[in-house]
Amino acid sequence: QITLKESGPTLVKPTQTLTLTCSFSGFSLTTNGVGVGWVRQSPGKALEWLALIYWNDYKRYIPSLKNRLTISKDISRNMVILTMTDMDPVDTGTYYCSLKYYDFFHFDSWGQGTLVTVSS
């Protein structure tokens, strides 16, 4: 059974760096073709794809946020980490991680999301 679970701070201050962790089970990021992505939803707005990392360390970022995002993986702990610098109140929202296979163009299994509020 595939599961993903997001974790991180519920509240960050403006200009701070957000670090989110996606802990997963039921698959491995050492397996060819496997990747994990991050998607967020700010209140009243559309879902927004943020970043992807694949088994071979290939990474992709949404162009508009590329300068603020870093995605990485910790194979030994079955985790994917997303950092976002210079947080702003507009970054408030629910952040989801998802399993993504390289050969497919959709997001397979998702976590339940973690709510992050940016406020002083």
Partner 1 sequence: QSALTQPRSVSGSPGRSVTISCTGTNSDVGGYDFVSWYQHHPGKAPKIIIFDVTKRPSGVSHRFSGSKSANTASLTISGLQAEDEADYYCCSYAGSYTWVFGGGTTLTVL
Q: Which residues of this protein are in contact with partner 1, per CB under 8 A?
A: 4, 39, 45-49, 52, 60, 62-64, 96, 98, 104-113
Task: Give CA–CA dist 101/108, Å, rounded.
Answer: 8
Q: Which of 79, 44, 78, 46 is nearest to 62 (CA)?
A: 46
Q: Work out how close the CB of 104 gets to partner 1 at its nearest, in angstroms, rounded to a whole number.
A: 7
Residue whose CB is less far from partner 1, 78 or 98: 98
Residue whose CB is less far from partner 1, 83 or 109: 109
Q: Work out how close the CB of 105 gets to partner 1 at its nearest, in angstroms, rounded to a whole number.
A: 4
Q: Work out how close the CB of 16 gets to partner 1 at its nearest, in angstroms, rounded to a whole number.
A: 26
Q: Work out how close the CB of 49 gets to partner 1 at its nearest, in angstroms, rounded to a whole number.
A: 4
Coil, strand, or helix at residue 65?
Answer: helix
Residue whose CB is less far from partner 1, 104 or 119: 104
Q: Which of 82, 104, 102 is nearest to 38 (CA)?
A: 82
Query: In this structure, are residues 4 and 112 in contact, taking their beta carbons and an 8 Å threshold?
Result: no
Query: How many Cα atoms are found within 13 Å in the side-chain-facing hemisphere of 13?
Result: 2
Residue whose CB is less far from partner 1, 63 or 76: 63
